[in-house]
Amino acid sequence: MKLDSKIFVAGHRGLVGSAITKHLISSGYCNIITRSRSELDLTDSIAVQNFFEKERPEYVFDSAAMVGGIRANDTYSAEFIYDNLTIQNNLIHSSYLFGVVKFLFLGSVCVYPKYAPTPVKESSLLDGLLEPTNEAYAVAKIAGIKMCQAYSKQYGMNTLTIMPANLYGPNDNFHPENGHVIPAMIEKFVKNPQEVTLWGDGSAMREFMFSEDMADACIFLMNSELCQGEVVNAGTGDEVSIKELSQLIADAVGFEGTVEWDTSKPNGTPKRPLDFSKITSMGWNPKNTMAEGLAKTIRWYRENKI
């Protein structure tokens, strides 16, 4: 990408999209296009095609999606599969129709099989059964990956998919029930100083990546020579149990109450660290430690949500 290339960041107000937009601006890119949901409904195929026909973006970062934690995925599975399929179909097809130079699709670690060998390689995709609680979201994302590859194969469209570890950071969904695990914990510990109930038994292991590092990886890959539907993992190598994570967040926000574990609720996938040697061999590495990322996230939360 050149500094004056026309770049569309879909979902620019979300966790990843806001980080990508911020990173692009700080790196000197000066021709960034964004649209809020009220300005452009990405589930409306005609509106999306009209937008692409008028604006003619050269590069597209697809970070627009309906996302959430275990409870949200399990409760709203129909919305998760319909909305995500519709959004990505519209963006990929319009990018093809109007000659986008390169399209980067945001995948998810949850697309990999529940019991994939760890660390999980890109080749594990479609090699086993999915985690049932987020199957609808995962199926939608898998369809997006395969659609990118199909458009690359049939039409020669330059596409790329990044598969991140579990993400967190500013502009995340801090809803205590529907948000991802880190923002949901932050909200619960701050708003309920006496006692907090968390799902499962805390034994599940997770690898987390700060959204600023994800944005850096996205831009790094967009500027790489990889295309033709390539799938690339991005992670940190730092893995913690949910119970250890809860203690880290409790200490960081000053929570001194008690934590109860509701073992009637699911743990999710037991363990899924990523093998991200492909991107590190190209020269990319994360910059933020878990402690640094959590501190930045909690600071943003206190300044913007309280």
Does 137 qualify as catalytic in the annotation? yes
Distances (CA, A) of 109 to 28, 120, 236: 30, 9, 13
Distance CA 87, CA 115 (A): 29
| Rg of the chain in Å (alpha carbons) | 19
Q: Are 49 and 96 in contact (CB under 8 A)?
A: no
Look-up of token digits 């991200």: 276
52 closest CA partner among 96, 89, 20: 96
Catalytic entry in 137, 151, 168, 301:
137
Distances (CA, A) of 120 to 123, 137, 139, 191: 8, 19, 18, 36
Distance CA 306, CA 288 (A): 25
Position 18: which residue type?
S
Distance CA 300, CA 306 (A): 10
Q: Are 181 and 245 in contact (CB under 8 A)?
A: yes
Position 22: which residue type?
K
Q: Which two structure tokens, joined as six digits, stand for 134?
A: 């987020």
Pairing mode of beta strands 258-262, 195-199: parallel
Task: Show which residues are catalytic.
Answer: 137
